[in-house]
Chains A and B, each alone.
Chain A
């Protein structure tokens, strides 16, 4: 505890030698290299899962407000299924259980499985928010759209969704930040991301505090960056006079 020994990040992960410049070359790999690679894995999982979650979540949210009971049922079933199973259990279901039932899935890299598991889990929450956004609009908007001769998809595209999405940007920001934090469960299926780095490097170097502090900072920076980006989007797309506009 007397010294903090931050130099550990310059050490090679295999031999434990300190490498000048802190970045390993020619097969050497320092803890700093490893940290950055782990951060990259975290961001890749989170960003790809966010894309899946946004697309599937928006689609399901829209279906739940459609004037067709079968579509509403599909959207509701999807949302309830993925919302009511804990995330870690879902990850294990995709990794261990589903491949046992569908053998070809065994050859899928665990990275893809995690992206979809995390994406589907978050899509349930996004579907709930998108639905709430659409339902917060007065019914008259939908009828007005249809009355001027727009088809149903056109009504959604040009009348309902532009407003609904603007209304739900704040909760979507939270979800986007959550997905960064939730990506930490990926360590359970062998993705070399930040949480796994902290556990593994902590054990190897006996410097758990240093490892966890850095990883905490990395998570914070990632989530905070998303927060700032989404705030920028919110300010850019706001329409004067609408809900949420300044």
Chain B
């Protein structure tokens, strides 16, 4: 088969361009680290405009890098912010463009084949938002209703699974992004919006009348969200993990959480208002990097 040859060459090129395995040495040599950030991942990682990035995970990463700077004995460490999307974040970590990705990446077994995750810093609970006056409080009340979710998220598959298991029949409508999905709920084109809890909370907080919406129903899924880095670099992973574990032990991580999820945050000075969940507390109490598959078994 002649078609295999270019593919093989392409693969070889990719392998050749893969970054060196020792991230700590690279950071020391270049005096800089590249942090992958998201434009809009709720309060976890978002842009303030003008090339500035902020959020819970961004601040955690800034502290991790400060710890690394100290341990490497560097006078100065430049942090380069590299915006990533859910489509390109894994390739960019693999090829060395991004050293540490601080967004909203779910730690799952498929991804663990390609990249490595730090200890889980946030556990996401997938739930649904409804209008407060709709009277909906559980998934099984959704029979015959319209349920919105966002294209390109795992919530769609989750919803399908649940539809079959709970034997309810609802019509799925898809928004092209989270803001669009929320608009479907707001304008009455959908009766519920199923999505990650912190995204629901953030959208409700930013809406015209936050009191009109409620996050209700059982937790459809829990997903460990973690900071992502290159695979097969145990020295770097240990450094990152130790720094995060120290924040968990000292309670610093709880203070950071409070700052980003309970206090008003820039740029609009609204509060997300999402109290720390039991699952997140458990992850802080016993730091681990288990994938989402382990959470499902429970």
Chain B 170-185 interface mask (CB, 8 Å, partner A; 1/0): 0011111000100110
A203 at the interface (CB under 8 A from B): yes
A188 to B151, CA, bound (A): 9
Asked whether B11 lies within 8 Å of A200 as measured between CB atoms, the reply is no
Contacts of A110 in B (CB 8 A): 173
Q: How far is the CA of A140 from the CA of B124 in the complex (A)?
A: 74
Task: Note all chain B residues with C-beta closer than 8 A to A96.
Answer: 183, 187
Q: Which B residues are closer than 8 A to A by beta carbons?
A: 11, 14, 86-87, 110-111, 151-154, 156-157, 160-161, 164, 172-176, 180, 183-184, 187-189
Out of B14, B157, B180, B188, name the residue touching A106 (CB < 8 Å).
Answer: B188
Q: A24 vs B214: C-alpha distance in the bound complex, in angstroms?
A: 37
CA distance A54 to B261 in the complex (A): 53
Sorted from nearest, which 6 A-B pairs have the closest CB atoms?
A199-B152, A190-B173, A190-B174, A188-B176, A203-B152, A204-B157
- Cα(A99)–Cα(B189), bound, Å: 10
A-B contact pairs, 16 of them (CB 8 A): A1-B11, A1-B14, A14-B164, A96-B183, A96-B187, A100-B187, A106-B188, A110-B173, A187-B151, A188-B180, A190-B172, A190-B184, A199-B152, A200-B151, A200-B152, A203-B153
Chain B residues near A188 (CB, 8 Å)?
176, 180
Residues on A with C-beta less than 8 A from B184 are 190
Residue of B nearest to A29 (CB): B160
Interface residues as binary, A98-141 with B (CB distance below 8 Å gives 1, 0 otherwise): 01100000100010000000000000000000000000000000
| Chain A residues closer than 8 Å to B11, beta-carbon distance | 1-2
Find out whether the CB atom of A203 lies under 8 angstroms from the CB atom of B86: yes
5 more contacts with CB within 8 A, not counting A99-B187, A208-B87, are A13-B157, A190-B174, A203-B153, A203-B154, A206-B111
- In the complex, which residues of chain A have a beta carbon less than 8 angstroms from the beta carbon of B187? 96, 99-100
Q: Does A196 contact B (CB under 8 A)?
A: yes
Q: Are B176 and A187 in contact (CB under 8 A)?
A: yes
Q: A residues within 8 A CB of B87?
A: 202, 208
Q: Closest residue to B162 on the A side, CB-wise?
A: A14
A21: Cβ under 8 A from any B Cβ: no
B251 to chain A, nearest CB (A): 36
Q: CB-nearest residue of chain B relative to A185?
A: B176
Q: Are B156 and A204 in touch, CB under 8 angstroms? A: yes
Does A149 sit at the interface, judged by CB under 8 A? no
Among residues of A, the one whose C-beta sits closest to the C-beta of B177 is A188
Bound-state Cα–Cα, A154 to B111, Å = 68
Residue A27 interfacial (CB < 8 Å): yes
Chain B residues, CB < 8 A from A203:
86, 152-154
| Size of interface on A: residues with Cβ below 8 Å to B | 23
* A contact residues around B154 at 8 Å (CB): 203-204
User: Given the complex, which residues of B lie within 8 Å of A106, measured CB to CB?
Assistant: 188-189
B173 and A14 contacting across the interface, CB-CB below 8 Å: no
**How near does chain B come to A113, taking the closest CB pair, in angstroms?**
11
Q: Give the distance to chain A from B204, nearest Cβ to Cβ, in Å.
A: 19
Measured between C-beta atoms, what is the minimum distance from A10 to chain B in Å?
17
* A100–B174 alpha-carbon span in the complex (Å): 19
Report chain A residues within 8 Å CB of B174: 187, 190, 192, 196, 200
Most B CB contacts (10 A, CB to CB) among A192, A202, A203, A204 go to A203
Q: Which residues of chain A (184-242) have a CB below 8 Å from chain B?
A: 187-188, 190, 192, 196, 199-200, 202-204, 206, 208
Minimum Cβ distance to chain A for residue B3 (Å): 11
| Cβ-closest chain A residue relative to B180 | A188
Shortest CB distance B185–A (Å): 12
Q: Smallest Cβ distance from A176 to chain B, in angstroms?
A: 26
For the complex, give the distance between the alpha carbons of A13 and B158 in Å.
10
> Which residues of A, 1-49, contact B by the 8 Å Cβ criterion?
1-2, 13-15, 27
- Among A14, A15, A99, A100, residue most surrounded by chain B Cβ atoms (within 10 Å): A14
Which residue of chain B has its CB nearest to the CB of A212? Answer: B87
A19 to chain B, nearest CB (A): 15
Q: Mark A61-99, 1 if CB is under 8 A from B, else 0.
A: 000000000000000000000000000000000001001
Residue of B nearest to A2 (CB): B11
Complex Cα–Cα for A104 and B32 (A): 58
Chain B residues positioned under 8 Å from A99 (CB to CB): 187
